[in-house]
Homo-oligomer: A and B are copies of this chain.
Amino acid sequence: MAQKPSTPKGTRDFSPVEMARRNYIFDTIRQVFALYGYRQIETPAMENLGTLMGKYGEEGDKLLFKILNSGDYLRGVDPGLLSEGESLRLATKICDKGLRYDLTVPFARYVVQHRDELQLPFKRYQIQPVWRADRPQKGRYREFYQCDADVVGSDSLLNEVELLQMVDLVFRRLGVRVSIKLNNRKILAGIAELIGAPDKLIDITVAIDKLEKIGLDKVKEELAERGLGSEAIEALVPVLGISGTAAERLAQLADILSSSETGLKGVEELRFVVDSTEALGLTAELDLDVALARGLNYYTGTIIEVKALDTPMGSICGGGRYDNLTGIFGLPGISGVGISFGADRIYDVLTALELFPSDATRSTRVVFANFGPAEAAASMKIIKTLREAGISAEIYPDSSKLKKQIGYADSIGAEYFAMIGESELADGTVGLKRLADGTQTTVAAEQLADTLGH
Does A298 touch B at the CB level, under 8 Å? no
Does A43 touch B at the CB level, under 8 Å? yes
B381 touches A280 (CB 8 A): yes
Least CB separation from A34: chain B residue: B392
Contacts of A390 in B (CB 8 A): 35
Does A279 touch B at the CB level, under 8 Å? yes
Least CB separation from A77: chain B residue: B84
Within 8 A of B (CB), among A183-241: none
Does A403 touch B at the CB level, under 8 Å? no
Contacts of A68 in B (CB 8 A): 65-68, 91, 94-95
Closest beta carbon of chain B to A119's beta carbon, Å: 4
B158 touches A13 (CB 8 A): no
Known contacts A19-B39, A37-B394, A397-B159; is-contact A44 B143 (Cβ 8 Å)? yes
Contacts of A158 in B (CB 8 A): 370, 376, 380, 395, 397
Instruction: Name, among A82, A95, A397, the residue most crowded by chain B CB atoms within 10 Å (CB to CB).
Output: A397
A392 touches B131 (CB 8 A): no
Partner of A43, one of B4, B7, B331: B7
Least CB separation from A63: chain B residue: B70
Q: Could you say which of A105-113, A315-323, A445-453 contacts chain B?
A: A105-113
Known contacts A36-B392, A71-B87; is-contact A121 B408 (Cβ 8 Å)? yes
B35 touches A13 (CB 8 A): no
Contacts of A396 in B (CB 8 A): 121
Assembled-state Cα–Cα distance A161/B444 (Å): 25
Does A288 touch B at the CB level, under 8 Å? no
A6 touches B113 (CB 8 A): yes
A13 touches B41 (CB 8 A): yes
Contacts of A394 in B (CB 8 A): 36-37, 123, 162
Contacts of A161 in B (CB 8 A): 380
B70 touches A62 (CB 8 A): yes
Within 8 A of B (CB), among A110-151: 110, 112-114, 117, 119, 121, 123-124, 129, 131, 133, 142-143, 151
Assembled-state Cα–Cα distance A369/B11 (Å): 46
Least CB separation from A141: chain B residue: B44
Does A244 touch B at the CB level, under 8 Å? no
Assembled-state Cα–Cα distance A70/B136 (Å): 13
B387 touches A97 (CB 8 A): no
Assembled-state Cα–Cα distance A397/B150 (Å): 13
Q: Could you say which of A47-55, A258-266, A345-353 contacts chain B?
A: A47-55
Does A15 touch B at the CB level, under 8 Å? yes
Given A12-B44, A37-B394, 15 other A-B contacts at CB below 8 A?
A5-B109, A5-B113, A6-B109, A7-B47, A8-B96, A13-B110, A13-B113, A15-B41, A16-B41, A45-B99, A45-B129, A46-B142, A74-B85, A121-B396, A156-B397
Instruction: Enumerate the 3 nearest inter-chain pairs by beta-carbon distance, A residue then B residue, closest first.
Output: A2-B330, A37-B394, A16-B39
21 contacts between A and B (CB under 8 A): A6-B48, A7-B48, A8-B96, A8-B97, A12-B44, A13-B114, A16-B41, A37-B363, A45-B129, A46-B143, A62-B70, A66-B67, A67-B99, A68-B95, A71-B87, A74-B87, A158-B370, A162-B394, A165-B384, A279-B377, A280-B381
Using CB atoms and an 8 Å cutoff, list the residues of chain A in contact with chain B. 1-8, 11-16, 19-20, 23, 34-37, 39-48, 50-51, 62-63, 65-68, 70-75, 79, 82-87, 90-91, 94-97, 99, 109-110, 112-114, 117, 119, 121, 123-124, 129, 131, 133, 142-143, 151, 154-156, 158-159, 161-162, 165, 169, 276, 279-281, 329-331, 363-364, 367, 370, 376-377, 380-381, 384, 387, 390, 392-398, 407-408, 411-412
